[in-house]
Structure 1
Amino acid sequence: MFPPVLPVTRALLIANVVVFLFQQVLGAAVTDLFVQWPIDFTGVGPRDGGFMLWQLLTSGFMHGSPGHLFFNMLALWMFGSPLEATWGEKRFITYYFVCLIGANLCQLLVSSWVLASGGPNIYSMGASGAVFGVLLGYGMLFPNQRMIVFPIPMEIRARTLVIIYGALALFFGITGTKAGIGHFAHLGGMIFGWLMIRYWRGQPPFGKRRPPGPRMRIVK
């Protein structure tokens, strides 16, 4: 059974769809300015586009195809609404944007290193880094929740699913297989999500567990 679409999750879904429609109407004029380009440390200057600080945010709302958009939004709906129901709107939106920007920072470091090493100047875009962070959060809050996720032909626990997706992203990123996918953005979203939850729980590397304040939700 799919969860209800809660307000923040709904707003994120709508924003991503609207931005994608603007991409189709305005074309490269929008894409080149708001996708994330690597930083050119060579001093030669960008060949196709250049990095701007706002791209850490805007690139997370842009997608390359209807399929790219659909699967990201489906995952956001499935795993984001339960987090929003547990944490509340403010905490969930904070978590989402920490994962999104953290994912893009990791992808930026890798793509800039590739460019500095003589590789291509390739931009990145998509919400999948943030979505991987949302998946990580779901696995931490509901580790024993059983689900069936394509293409795995059996029930699997949320915690196991997170481990599989994280391991695949690491493997594909290191080996360079499945090129054209931001594997390090996926890893970055999961890492920053894990750190955010550890921070809220008062766990290392942020110190010992702190008792919640009088009006603070307990993070599971």
Structure 2
Amino acid sequence: MFQLTPTVKALLIMNLVIFIMTNFIFPEAMQQFALYGFQSDKFRGYQLFTHMFLHAGWGHIFSNMFSLFIFGPMLEYRWGGNRFLVFYLVCGLGASLLYQGIRTYEIMDMKKDVAVYTENPSPLAFSQFLDEHLGGRYNPEAVAQYKREADNPAMVQATIESVKSVYNDLVQNGKMVGASGAVFALLMAFGMLFPNTELMLLFFPFPIKAKYFVLFYGAYELYAGLARNPGDNVAHFAHLGGMLFAYILLKFWERHDRKNFY
């Protein structure tokens, strides 16, 4: 009969309690403990860990905690509570570090686009910048007005300031929350340690072996991360970071345990 293991149970309770507190009782805590980029004035070192226990909504926390509930107990049975917790936290930290690296690259890329636009502003360049970095999350009337007043120096300067504002908002206010990095690490570990276990998924009507599920899911996350759709606010590279650190940590433990055994 399926039973929750102690560490998994503690993590489920902790995440749920923190979710209720930060979303309904102390919402200001969400801003303090979410993970901001290294370049932001709001970044604090402890956010590399605290963001793992924050979630943006019911759907967000349900998907992460459901995965923890499904994949966590078998891993804790195999490793014990201490190793399981170390794995969860280390991989969550690794996921956040990879996210920070990718985010730094994106900020540098946008900074170049801001410089290019500032030197050669035009309605077309303005539209392309907004499409690239905001997707559909901007008012098209702003572009239409710029087209009507393209020769107005005040309008041109206003668009330059607008582009700089988009950049500054990303640097200062872009943030990440959620246990997804650690949860994807659990998924990776499950696929490596129990590769032939058949999973029956809600969105896939046929059983699929864990190793294939991990492979397909990892490939999708890589595709989604490289696509960089502006309207996609999922931190796909944090997911991949969790999977990568899970692989590295498992291989390290495997070598370490084998050496101690012999």
TM-score by length of 1: 0.86
Partner residue, 1:152: 204
- Checking the alignment, whether the CA contact within 8 Å between 1:100 and 1:129 is kept in structure 2 is yes
Unaligned runs of 5+ in 1: 41-45, 214-220
- The question of whether the paired residues in 2 share the 8 Å contact of 1:37 and 1:123 is answered with yes
Asked if residue 81 in structure 1 is aligned to residue 73 in structure 2, the reply is yes
Structure 2: where are the runs of 5+ without partners?
Answer: 111-166
Aligned partners of 1:67, 1:202: CA distance in 2, in Å?
Answer: 38
The aligned counterpart of 2:159 is none
In the TM superposition, what is the alpha-carbon distance from 1:129 to its structure 2 partner? 0.6
Partner of 1:183: 236
- Cα deviation for residue 209 of structure 1 reads 4.5
- Hey, what does 1:138 align to over in structure 2? 190
Q: Please give the alpha-carbon distance, in whole angstroms, between the structure 2 residues aligned to 1:152 and 1:30.
A: 37
1:1-220 → structure 2 map (5 Å cutoff): 3-24=2-23, 25-27=25-27, 29-40=28-39, 46=40, 50-118=42-110, 119=167, 120-121=170-171, 122-177=174-229, 179-202=232-255, 209-212=258-261
Q: CA shift at 1:108, angstroms? A: 1.3
Q: Is the 8 A contact 1:146 1:157 kept in 2?
A: yes
- Greater relative contact order structure (CA < 8 Å, 6+ sep): 2
Structure 1 vs Structure 2 CA RMSD: 1.8
CA-CA distance at 1:113 after TM superposition: 2.5
Shift of 1:211: 4.1
Identity, in percent, stands at 35
Q: Is the 8 A contact 1:38 1:115 kept in 2?
A: no
CA distance in 2, matches of 1:147, 1:35: 33
Paired with 2:196 and 2:260, the residues of 1 have a C-alpha distance of: 25
- 8 Å contact kept, 1:132–1:187: yes
Which has the larger displacement, 76-85 or 118-127?
118-127
SS in 1 for 2:73: helix
TM-score normalized by the length of structure 2: 0.72
The alignment of Structure 1 onto Structure 2 pairs a total of residues equal to: 200
- Determine helix, strand or coil for the equivalent of 1:22: helix
Task: State the AA in 1 paired with 2:238.
Answer: A
Deviations 1:1-42 (A, max 9, x none): 8x3111000011111111111112111x211111011122xx
Contact 1:75 1:131 in 2 (8 A): yes
Q: As a proportion of its length, which structure holds more helix?
A: 2
Contact 1:38 1:123 (8 Å CA) reproduced: yes
